[in-house]
């Protein structure tokens, strides 16, 4: 699994529980914990990615 924002790869199975998954146009995209934390308000308000 790779973060679609920063490119970080998941390093362990237990770490997967802290990642965020979102569906966009039928695609599944993953955010690492750091990117999810940095953009939590954008994610919750569903701002377009261009805004980030």
Q: What does the pLDDT look like over 16-41, one tens digit per residue?
A: 788 988 887 888 999 999 998 888 77
Query: Is 9 in contact with 2 (CB distance < 8 Å)?
Result: yes
- Has residue 31 been placed in a domain? yes
Arithmetic mean of pLDDT over the chain: 83
Can you tell me the mean pLDDT for 31-52? 77
Local confidence band at 52 (pLDDT 50, 70, 90 cut-offs): low
Range of the structural domain that residue 46 is part of? 14-51
- Has residue 9 been placed in a domain? no
Q: Quick one: pLDDT at residue 8?
A: 93
Number of domains in the chain: 1
User: For residue 33, with 0-12 CB atoms within 10 Å meaning exposed, 13-18 middle and 19 or more buried, which class applies?
Assistant: middle
CA distance 30 to 2: 7
DSSP code for 7: -
Query: Is 27 in contact with 18 (CB distance < 8 Å)?
Result: no
Q: Is the pLDDT of residue 7 over 90?
A: yes
Q: Quick one: pLDDT at residue 47?
A: 63
Only one residue has tokens 């805004």, namely 51
- Has residue 1 been placed in a domain? no
């Amino acid at each position: 699994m790779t973060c679609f924002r920063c490119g970080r790869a998941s390093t362990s199975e237990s770490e997967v529980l802290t990642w965020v998954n979102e569906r966009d146009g039928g695609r599944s995209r993953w955010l690492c914990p750091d990117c999810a934390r940095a953009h939590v308000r954008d994610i919750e308000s569903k701002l377009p990615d261009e805004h980030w």
